Amino acid sequence: MSDAPLSAPSGGIGRSARVAAVARGMGHRAGPVVAVVAVLVAIWYAACLPMNVGNTLLQAERAGAVVTPEGPAARRQMGSVALMAANPSLLPGAWSLERPRLPAPHQVAVALWDGVAGQSVTSARSLVYHAWVTLSATLLGFAIGTGLGILLAVGIVHSRVMEMSVMPWAIVSQTVPIIAIAPMIIVVLYSVGVQGIVPKAVISAYLSFFPVVVGMVTGFRSPDAMQLDLLRTYAATRAQIFGKLRLPASLPYLFASLKIGVAASLVGAIVAELPTGAQAGLGARLLAGSYYGQNIQIWAALFAAALLAAGLVGLIGLVERGLLARMGMGQ
Amino acid sequence: MSAPVVRAEGLDLTFATGDGSVHALSDVSLDIGRGEFVSFIGPSGCGKTTFLRCVAGLETPTGGTLEVNGMSPDAARQARAYGYVFQAAGLYPWRTIAGNVALPLEIMGFAKADRRQRVEEALALVDLGGFAGKFPWQLSGGMQQRASIARALAFDADILLMDEPFGALDEIVRDRLNEELLALWARTGKTMLFVTHSIPEAVYLSTKIVVMSPRPGRISDVIESPLPAERPLDIRDSAEFIAVAHRVREGLRAGMEAL
Ligand SMILES: Nc1ncnc2c1ncn2[C@@H]1O[C@H](COP(=O)(O)OP(=O)(O)OP(=O)(O)O)[C@@H](O)[C@H]1O
Ligand SMILES: [Mg+2]
Q: What residues of A are in contact with residue B73 (Cβ under 8 Å)?
A: none
Q: Is the CB of B47 under 6 A from ligand 1?
A: yes
Average pLDDT of B207-236?
84
The pLDDT value recorded for residue A15 is 47
State how far the Cα of B114 lies from the Cα of B101, in Å rounded to an integer. Answer: 13
Between the two ends of chain A, the Cα-to-Cα distance in Å is 18
Residues of chain B neighbouring A9 (CB-CB closer than 8 A): 93, 135-137
Nearest chain A residue to B87, by CA: A226
A230 touches chain B (CB under 8 A): yes
Residue A137 sits in the same domain as residue A230: yes
* In-domain check, residue A135: yes
Q: What is the spatial distance between Cα A211 and Cα A254, in angstroms, rounded to a whole number?
A: 9
Q: What is the DSSP-derived secondary structure letter of residue B235?
A: G
**Are B94 and A329 within 8 A, CB to CB?**
yes
| Claim to verify: residue B77 and residue B115 sit in the same structural domain | no
pLDDT tens track for A264-282: 999 999 988 887 666 788 8
A325 in contact with B, Cβ within 8 Å: no
Nearest atom in ligand 1 to the alpha carbon of residue B197 is: 25
> Are the C-beta atoms of residues A265 and A145 closer than 8 Å to each other?
yes
| Spatial CB neighbours of B10, under 8 Å, sequence gap ≥ 6 | B27, B28, B29, B63, B64, B65
Contacts of B134 in chain A (CB under 8 A): none
Confidence (pLDDT) at A148: 94
AA letter at A275: P
Of B58, B91, B104, the CB nearest to A229: B58
pLDDT digits (tens, 9 = 90+) for A55-100: 888 888 888 888 878 878 888 888 888 888 888 888 888 888 888 8
Which burial class, exposed, middle or buried, applies to A133 when counting CB atoms under 10 A from its CB (0-12, 13-18, 19+)?
A: buried
Inter-chain residue contact A328 with B78, CB threshold 8 Å: no
Last residue of a domain, one of A37, A69, A102: A102
Whether the Cβ atoms of residue B249 and residue B234 lie closer than 8 Å to each other:
no
Q: What is the pLDDT of residue A9?
A: 40
pLDDT, tens digit, 9 for 90 and up, residues A11-36: 344 444 454 555 555 556 788 889 99
**Composition of chain B by helix, strand, coil, percent to 5:** 40, 25, 35
pTM: 0.80
- Same domain for B175 and B76: yes
Nearest residue (CA) to ligand 1, atom 25: B44
Is ipTM beyond 0.90? Answer: no
Distance between Cα A60 and ligand 1 center (Å): 84
**Same domain membership, residue B248 and residue B146:** no
Nearest to B93 among A5, A233, A236 (CB): A5
Give dist(CA B106, CA A236) in Å, integer. 10
Of B77, B82, B136, which is closest to A9 when you measure between CB atoms? Answer: B136
Per-residue pLDDT reduced to its tens digit, B151-195: 988 888 889 999 988 887 778 878 888 888 888 888 888 899 999
Asked if B94 is an interface residue toward chain A (Cβ–Cβ < 8 A), one would say yes
Q: What is the mean pLDDT of residues A236-248?
A: 92
For residue A175, the domain's CATH number is: 1.10.3720.10
| Residue A316, pLDDT score | 93
Mean pLDDT in chain A? 84
Q: What is the rounded CA–CA span in Å between residue A328 and residue A331? A: 9
The residue range of the domain holding A140 is 127-326
B210 — alpha (psi -120 to 50), left (phi > 0) or beta?
beta
Asked whether the bond before A223 is cis by omega within 30 degrees of 0, the reply is no
pLDDT in tens, B9-46: 888 888 888 888 888 888 888 888 888 999 999 888 88
User: Would residue A107 count as lying in a domain?
Assistant: no
Residues of chain B with C-beta less than 8 angstroms from the C-beta of A251: 94
Q: How many residues does chain A have?
A: 331
Taking CA atoms only, the protein residue closest to ligand 1 atom 6 is B15
B60 inside 8 A of chain A by CB: no
A227 and chain B in contact, CB less than 8 A: yes
Ligand 1 centroid, distance to B78 Cα (angstroms)? 24
Domain count of chain B?
2
For residue B217, the cross-strand partners are: none
Is-contact B259 B214, C-beta < 8 A? yes
CB-facing half-sphere around the CA of A5: CA atoms within 13 A? 25
The verdict on a CB contact (< 8 Å) between A229 and B80 is no
Q: Are residues B135 and B208 in the same domain?
A: no
Is the domain of B75 the same as that of B12?
yes
Residue B189 lies in a domain: yes
